[in-house]
Amino acid sequence: MDRIPILKFGDCLLVTIQVDMHDQLAMALQDDLTARLVKERSRGVLIDISALEIVDSFMGRILNNIASMAKILDAVTVVVGMRPAVAITLVELGLELPGVRTALNVERGMDLIRSTVDAETASDVDLD
């Protein structure tokens, strides 16, 4: 069975979804990503869905789940490159993904992760 590749990029994990997601693939991604997060001790997850044309309620829930799981594992999740049609679909489905941070493209998503992680690190230092 094919899987979505997860790339390590510094202290972040990079997931680019290039194929149409089916439910099994989404579940596998969820498993792989949580495993990698623990293994690499990453601070951020960037999910690029710019190639994704169809997002159903299941996929929306998986995105939300991934964000919640990443949060428990002390990482921020940023979803980037969502197409207008996909955004409208998700909103019409009532899935507004409150736990997920979003950005327009990979560059801005990376900036968002950097600034969030840096802010958290800075506040950690303040506690010492």
Answer for which of 28, 108, 114, 116 binds another protein (CB under 8 A) is: 108
Nearer to another protein, 29 or 97 (CB): 97
93 binds another protein (CB under 8 A): no
| Among candidate residues 77, 86, 81, 76, the one with its CA nearest the CA of residue 104 | 81
Nearer to another protein, 26 or 103 (CB): 103
Report if residue 91 touches another protein, rule: CB under 8 A. yes
Rank residues 19 and 91 by Cβ distance to another protein and give the closer one.
91
Q: Residues 7, 35, 54, 88: which binds another protein (CB under 8 A)?
A: 88
53/67 Cα distance (integer angstroms): 20
Length of the chain: 128
Count Cβ atoms below 10 Å from residue 84 Cβ, excluding itself.
7
Cα–chain center distance at 90: 16
**Binding flag, residue 59, another protein (CB under 8 A):** no
Instruction: Give yes or no for residue 82 binding another protein (CB under 8 A).
Output: yes
17 binds another protein (CB under 8 A): no
Helix (H) or strand (E) holding 7: strand 6-9
Query: Which candidate, 78, 72, 3, 81, places its Cα nearest to that of 37?
Result: 72
Cβ atoms of 66 and 41 within 8 Å: the answer is: no
Nearer to another protein, 31 or 111 (CB): 111
- Which residues of the shown chain bind another protein in the complex (CB under 8 A)? 79-80, 82-88, 90-92, 96-97, 102-105, 108-109
